[in-house]
Structure 1
Amino acid sequence: MKIAYFSPLNPIKSGVSDYSEELLEYLGGYGKIDLFIDDYRPSNSWIYEQFNVFNYRRIFENHGKNDHDVNIYHIGNNDNHSYIYQVCLEYPGIVVLHEPMLHHFIFSQTIGNNRVRDYLRELDYCYNSRRAEIIKSTLEERDENSWYDYPLLDRIVDSSLGVIVHSEFARAKVLEVNQCARVRRISHHWSPPPPDHMRTPERLRETLGFRPEDFLVGSMGYINSSKRIDALLRVIAKAKKMGYPVKLLLVGKMLSGSEVLRWIEDLDLEDDVLVSGFVDTMTFAEYLNVPDLFVALRYPSAGETSGSVIKMMGAGKPVVVSDRYAFGEFPDDCCVKVAAGENEEDELLEKLVYYMDNPDERLALGERSQRYILKHHDIQDAARGYVHFATELLSGG
């Protein structure tokens, strides 16, 4: 099979970039893959050693004619995917929908570029009679939370040969849009970390300024309001007042406009919270082994499957997640779930205190998490799933 593969790659700082580079190493064993990217040069040299890399404009120059059996398009809810969205509407293929929500992306591409008519056309295509209601909330009131109610998936689903998603929640969202869509759930893979040159957790804790007796909570991934960092910080402050030696490690890029540093100062947690900023893939893999427990809340949420959470669980760490959407699909004995809403902080504090007081239970939970990920999120299975789905679509099955 010969595949034209469209995705962000590093140095584009995106979870999809990491996902694709991990997958490509395994998917490449099933056929010839050509990569199509935007105006940059991939930062990992092995990409050029294993694949041909082309600018996506080549597809338009050839009017879509090429000798590939299928195009695979990775689509996420941000501007990194603008050229991919453009090509996949013109030349249908398999869409990998990393989250069942594109409103933020489409709003940025249209309203963000003064293309109001294009935004209105998208509303008409997806919702038609509800256009006035949506305009009131998204344009007049500028209520970004309302975007989650209108995912704007219709056009990309309708134009695809098939859709790959990572959860049953996302699969249901696609079928809501088009009940005839060919959609396949392929679990978000877990990729084994590089075994060499990794510092020990004990050494890293010392390097980062944490004591052996500290209970270290971790949060990894882009730092934004939907990660509920404000709630997590308040819970950390409450646990400290109860006498627990709890610290917090925040790993990830802080998005512009973030109030995290002010929250830390207001809660008098400057000596208890370390914000690392963006880290490279190797450092990220090292940091996975440092915390005693991770917190990965999402509200509001687009229903995405978090690659960071898969990595945390794969590292054998207990993880606290919001009990909704894709996160809610994890078995109850493999992670800790708290309800989003008014009781969120109380539940989170209760769970945090329990696992600080019961280290054996915490370690057992981490072991169950790891076993589950190794069994159900194997990267070889994911690569085979891509090939099998493409083969079915091409054969008309």
Structure 2
Amino acid sequence: MRLAWFSPLPPVHSGIAAYSLDVLQGLTGRHAVDLYVEDRVWQAAGGHLHAGRGPETAALPGPLGLPLFRAYDFPVAHTRHPYDLVVYQMGNAACHRYQWPYLLRWPGLVVLHDAALHHARAHALLADGRDDEYRDEFRFNHPGVDPRVADFVVAGLQGSPYYLWPMLRTVMCRARGVVVHGDPLRRALAEEFPDTPIRTVSMGVPDPWEEGSGLRAQGSESRPNGGSGLTAQDSGSVLPADRRPPTAGIVVSAFGVITPEKRILTILRALQAIRAEVPGVRLRLVGEIGEHYALWQDVAATGTRDIVEVTGYVDDEQLAAELRAADVCLCLRWPTARETSASWLRCLAAGKPTIVPDQVSTVDVPTLDPRHWLLKHDRTDAGAVFQPPPVTRAVAVSIDLHDEDAMVRQALRRLVADAALRDQLGHNARAWWEAHHTLPRMHRDYEAALAWGAAQSEPGWPEDAPAHLRPSPSGWARDLTAPFGVEVDILA
């Protein structure tokens, strides 16, 4: 199958860029894939303004040796040699902005990483001064909502409206098919968009114990939850001196861009409350500090500067080392766009105990409630009341956001002190990853999804779609030449 692949790619610092490469590794031997990227990826690969000379476009060698093109090259390439399927890796971040014009004009298979796209779409329109078009799209996506809500976003009063109104209809009605990474989300979207074909593909992540230094091959651990797993040689060779994973004490880690949504302030307050009980506990924040987050103010306010370490951006090999070094992992993103957290899955793959929010993406995962340390999300039948399922089935600890501070504090207090519980949760976490989230399983699911997506028909636009989303093919030419009195309708 010939595939056109639209996705962020390195050097863009995006989880979806790394995910896309993991998927492509399993597809390149079976399909001919052309990569279509935004300008900064093209230029980082050595490309210039024009992709080719004369009528032909020239590809650059991209990741995995695949042909790399500017997105602007796609219309000509697709017209001359139509692709069997166009795949859009779509998320709620600015690095996906370039994909929108192509997705709306050439429907394809949309891999929906975030079930809310308001942030990215609003930014794309408002940054270009297209306020009225944003208002039109808001009305189209949310016809039952007072259209004046859009004025709050136009005025800069953003934040909550982005999560309350996800602006999904535009994408859902133009996709040949939509892929998501969990059955709970698939069911919810199928109820909201019954005319859109939707299927689930397992999200897979690499095994951190088979990357980089190859610790298993050196016999350092028989299974991946036996402490940090880093020898002195390993810790000195994997990271620069100021970014090495610590090798002593209890290491509590959080991964990804450091933002308030990761509940960092809640974590800091919890650690400050229990630090006297656990000398040597440290918080390791693995990632860049978000542009709009004053992290160090929260650190100062909680008096935790001496136990907080920030790595900055790390590459895949460094990330694997950080995962191996952690004792407890915190994956507490909220508010959420109902995404499946790749960083959480990486923690499971590393065999680490994790603390997560109790939300739609984890309702099918057996978790412990730290208020009473009993199991949730395992059985719902009446018999479970009289014969509760064993707590040894738990994969993670989950937090009710209505009682967030107390539950995070209670969860950390128990996990940092109870090595046996950490070991049990880590063992189950690794088993859950092996059953549901390996790369080979994701590759198998993608093979089926690609064949399914190619068989779907191209959807038409709904009658109430905004005019700017379905422009007249010659309208732009007329607008350009009208001031000069030039007639462009050659058949008039």
Same fold (TM over 0.5): yes
Deviation of residue 73 (structure 1)? 0.5
Question: In the TM superposition, what whole-angstrom CA distance separates every residue of 1:93-133 from its partner, at most 9, and x where no partner exists?
Answer: 10000010100001101123221011111112111242435
The separation in 1 between residues aligned to 2:303 and 2:451, in whole angstroms, is 57
The residue aligned with 2:185 is: 170
User: Which of 417, 421, 439 is equivalent to 1:357?
Assistant: 417
Closer, same or farther: CA 141–82 of 1 in aligned 2, 3 Å? closer
| Amino acid across the alignment from 1:28 | T
The residue aligned with 2:389 is: none
The separation in 1 between residues aligned to 2:127 and 2:281, in whole angstroms, is 42
The residue aligned with 1:340 is: 401
User: Which of 245, 248, 252 is equivalent to 1:217?
Assistant: 252
Question: In the TM superposition, what whole-angstrom CA distance separates every residue of 1:151-204 from its partner, at most 9, and x where no partner exists?
Answer: 001011100100011123432343244212111111211223453436862436
The residue aligned with 1:311 is: 346
The residue aligned with 1:197 is: 213
The separation in 1 between residues aligned to 2:298 and 2:211, in whole angstroms, is 37
- Listed as ranges, the matches of 1:75-154 within 5 Å are 75-135=90-150, 137-139=152-154, 142-154=157-169
- Contact kept, 8 Å, 1:64 with 1:91, in 2: the verdict is no
The residue aligned with 2:219 is: none
- Contact kept, 8 Å, 1:27 with 1:384, in 2: the verdict is no
Question: In the TM superposition, what whole-angstrom CA distance separates every residue of 1:339-389 from its partner, at most 9, and x where no partner exists?
Answer: 112x11111111111122220111111011011101111212212222212
More displaced, 12-21 or 193-202? 193-202
Q: Which runs of 5+ in 2 are unaligned?
A: 47-59, 216-228, 368-393, 458-492
| Amino acid across the alignment from 1:335 | A
More displaced, 153-162 or 49-58? 49-58
- Contact kept, 8 Å, 2:275 with 2:281, in 1: the verdict is yes
The residue aligned with 1:394 is: 454
- Contact kept, 8 Å, 2:6 with 2:36, in 1: the verdict is yes
More displaced, 277-286 or 322-331? 322-331
The separation in 2 between residues aligned to 1:24 and 1:135, in whole angstroms, is 38
- Contact kept, 8 Å, 2:135 with 2:147, in 1: the verdict is no
User: Which of 71, 74, 96 is equivalent to 2:86?
Assistant: 71
Question: In the TM superposition, what whole-angstrom CA distance separates every residue of 1:270-299 from its partner, at most 9, and x where no partner exists?
Answer: 211101111111111111111100011022
The separation in 1 between residues aligned to 2:235 and 2:404, in whole angstroms, is 29
Closer, same or farther: CA 154–117 of 1 in aligned 2, 3 Å? same
- Normalising by structure 1, we get a TM-score of 0.93
User: Which of 164, 168, 173 is equivalent to 1:158?
Assistant: 173
| Amino acid across the alignment from 1:23 | V
- Contact kept, 8 Å, 2:211 with 2:320, in 1: the verdict is no
The separation in 1 between residues aligned to 2:24 and 2:77, in whole angstroms, is 25
Closer, same or farther: CA 260–72 of 1 in aligned 2, 3 Å? same
Secondary structure in 2 matching 1:96: strand
Q: Which runs of 5+ in 1 are unaligned?
A: none
| Amino acid across the alignment from 2:213 | H
More displaced, 365-374 or 239-248? 239-248
The separation in 2 between residues aligned to 1:143 and 1:38, in whole angstroms, is 26
- Contact kept, 8 Å, 2:153 with 2:161, in 1: the verdict is yes
- Listed as ranges, the matches of 1:39-78 within 5 Å are 39=39, 40-41=41-42, 47-48=62-63, 50-62=65-77, 64-78=79-93
Secondary structure in 2 matching 1:241: coil
| Amino acid across the alignment from 2:252 | V
The residue aligned with 1:374 is: 434
Deviation of residue 63 (structure 1)? 6.3
Tell me, yes or no, if structure 1 residue 322 matches structure 2 residue 360.
Answer: no
- Contact kept, 8 Å, 2:230 with 2:325, in 1: the verdict is yes
More displaced, 128-137 or 225-234? 128-137
More displaced, 308-317 or 191-200? 191-200
User: Which of 263, 266, 274 is equivalent to 2:298?
Assistant: 263
- Contact kept, 8 Å, 1:239 with 1:353, in 2: the verdict is yes
- Listed as ranges, the matches of 1:171-186 within 5 Å are 171-186=186-201
Q: Percent identity?
A: 24
Closer, same or farther: CA 120–209 of 1 in aligned 2, 3 Å? closer
- Contact kept, 8 Å, 1:222 with 1:253, in 2: the verdict is yes
The separation in 2 between residues aligned to 1:48 and 1:372, in whole angstroms, is 30
- Normalising by structure 2, we get a TM-score of 0.75
| Amino acid across the alignment from 2:451 | T
- Listed as ranges, the matches of 1:24-39 within 5 Å are 24-39=24-39
| Amino acid across the alignment from 1:55 | R
| Amino acid across the alignment from 1:277 | G
- Contact kept, 8 Å, 2:176 with 2:456, in 1: the verdict is no
The residue aligned with 1:248 is: 283
Question: In the TM superposition, what whole-angstrom CA distance separates every residue of 1:181-236 from its partner, at most 9, and x where no partner exists?
Answer: 11111121122345343686243668557875511100000111111001001111
